[in-house]
Amino acid sequence: MIIWEVLLCLVALLAFWVSHCVYSWKNPHCHGKLPPGSMGFPLIGETVQFFTPNHSLYDIPPFIRSRMVRYGSLFRTSLVGRKVVVSVDPEINHQIFQQEGKSFLICYTESFSEIIGRKSLLVYHEMAHKYLKNLILHLVGPANLKAKLIHEMDESTRTRLHSWASHGNIVDIKEATSNMVFEYFAKKLISYDECKTSKKLKDNYNAFISGLISFPINIPGTAYHACLEGRKNALKVIKDTMEGRKNCNINHGDFLDYLVEEVRKEDTILSEEIAVNMIFLLLFAAYETTSTAITLAIKFISDHPQVLIQLTREHEGILKSRENKNSEITWQEYKSMTFTHMVINETLRLANIVPGIFRKAVKDVEMNGFTIPAGWLVMVVPAITHLDPDKYDDPLSFNPWRWEGKELHAGSKTFMAFGGGVRLCVGADFAKLKMAIFLHYLVLNYRWTVTKGGDTIRMPGVIFPNGLHIKISEKQNG
């Protein structure tokens, strides 16, 4: 009898403890008024709902929309074990970006930090971030783009387009542009040539990307596990390359040479580990986001003949003003591509390649009558602003002309494709230059038709489950 009474007491205590934990999870402690919302199940939160695939490219993700309708422009949730406040208010978003380094710091979930690396550029702040950012600008800043990279990108783009057309094959433009940007940038970073090695760095990056935004279960067979394995293998290739470079007196003329010299300096904060992680992240960011943007631009242009006509007219005008019709694109010509930049901005606005931008509150922050507790993450959702009918007329339509007379080269309260504040994407100019050069030669010298694919899925990042296949051929001039 006593044993049963003890067991009943233990069961009662366990039930009380579980109910207390559930209550505490659903009602987090706060020194003010928490934004409304639901924390979902303990630990799991609302992660499953957040990662549910969505087949609509041109709309606000259902996870966000349903909670906006129910809770308003600031609501709380929990994703992959972290307490999160989601902001869909442009004014609050602007305040968050302006308070970088004061009330907020860049931060990610534990699973995402594990993926991108804890020595990544993204985790540094203030002077350390500024120093590392300046290192990267040595490669992809406007000065080097103008002096060197525009020439190299022009040549590699022309070569690749000619190859696609001369073979007469149907090309999956997402895969083809991904390979094009990857091969070019891998050479710039570490003189890596996929055709001359058995290491197959690209395959490891593909595995990495497939699980980058996935449910964080690290067991064999899951996308997340494959992602971590891909990252580990890619890092090994970069580390081995750096190790060999340290004892080599040959000048390769790439970014790794520059970083090795920087590591050797006595007063530097750059370590080999940070340098390796920097190269890893740069290669990922450059080729995946740029190839996605190019693919979407081709999809949008193919669906809107008037845009193609206007683009062609602009680039034919550039050609007519040249003394030598076969000369490369100059920096002045690139800067004069007004409508091209309008197309690029409209592509990025409508596509919303980045599903969310994260910051962490370093202290309790009062906003709109609510308190964001210290330690909580804040997720800014660019799609909300980019698809807001009060900010953009008929926001779900692809209309490059809406950018006429507007600023085309910076972030703002209403345009956050490259982030905002001091954390504006360091590779933005590189991506836009690559897109502009590609569009220049595509519309001038080639005809193409979409033969298959073009479907998109958000998971919550954008993927093309069946690619975007085009048949491309050279124009017969004259």
pLDDT of residue 126 exceeding 70, the answer is no
Q: Could you tell me if 149 and 140 are in contact, meaning their C-beta atoms sit under 8 angstroms apart? A: yes
The residue behind tokens 């799609």 is 383
pLDDT of residue 458: 81
What number is the average pLDDT over the span 383-408?
Answer: 90
Pairing of strands 377-380, 82-87: parallel
Q: How far apart are the first and last CA of the chain?
A: 102
Whether the pLDDT of residue 315 is over 90: the answer is yes
Q: In degrees to the nearest 10, what's the CA dihedral of 427, 433, 435, 438?
A: -140
Residues 258-307 have pLDDT tens digits of: 888 888 888 888 888 888 888 888 888 787 889 999 999 999 999 999 99
Residue entry with tokens 């609050």: 92
DSSP 8-63: HHHHHHHHHHHHHHHHHHHS---SS-PPSB---BTTTBTHHHHTS-B--SSS--HH
pLDDT band at 246 (very low <50, low <70, confident <90, very high): confident
Please, are residues 54 and 458 in contact by the beta-carbon 8 Å criterion? yes
Give me the residue spans of the domains in the chain: 52-474
Mean pLDDT of 438-461: 89
Task: Please say if the pLDDT value at position 478 is more than 70.
Answer: no
Rg (CA), the chain: 24
pLDDT at position 444 is 94
Q: What's the pLDDT score for residue 198?
A: 56
pLDDT at 219 over 90: no
Looking at residue 310, its pLDDT comes to: 97
Confidence at residue 70, expressed as pLDDT on a 0 to 100 scale: 93
Poorest-confidence range of 120-124, 190-194, 324-328? 120-124
The region of weakest confidence among 171-175, 198-202, 285-289, 446-450 is: 198-202
Nearest to 340 by CA among 413, 434, 412: 434
Q: What is the pLDDT of residue 448?
A: 94
Mean of all residue pLDDT scores within the chain? 83
Which residue has better confidence, 47 or 378? 378
| Residue pLDDT, tens place only, 16-42 | 555 545 555 566 777 888 999 888 887
- pLDDT score for 53: 79
70-97: per-residue pLDDT in tens? Answer: 999 899 998 877 889 999 888 888 888 8
**3-class state of residue 367 by DSSP:** strand
Q: How confident is the model at residue 52 (pLDDT cuts 50, 70, 90)?
A: confident
Give yes or no for residue 397 having a pLDDT over 90. Answer: yes
Q: Looking at 169-287, which runs of residues are DSSP E strands?
A: 170-172
Q: Give mean pLDDT, residues 102-123.
A: 64
Give the containing element (helix H, strand E) for 256: helix 255-264
Strands 365-367 and 104-106, sheet pairing: unpaired
Say what angle helices 255-264 and 173-190 make with each other, to 10 degrees: 40
Identify whether the C-beta of residue 372 lies closer than 8 Å to the C-beta of residue 105: no
Confidence band for 471, pLDDT divided at 50, 70 and 90: very high
Residue 134 pLDDT grade (very low, low, confident, very high; cuts 50, 70, 90): confident
Beta-carbon count within 10 A of 265 CB: 9
- Mean pLDDT computed over 326-341: 94
Q: Report pLDDT digits (tens) over 145-158.
A: 999 999 999 999 99
Measure Cα distances from 406 to 349, 435, 438 in Å: 14, 19, 23
Q: Which CATH class is domain 52-474?
A: mainly alpha
pLDDT, position 199: 63
Q: For residue 354, give the amino acid letter.
A: V
Q: Nearest Cα to 298, choosing from 464, 80, 61, 136? A: 464
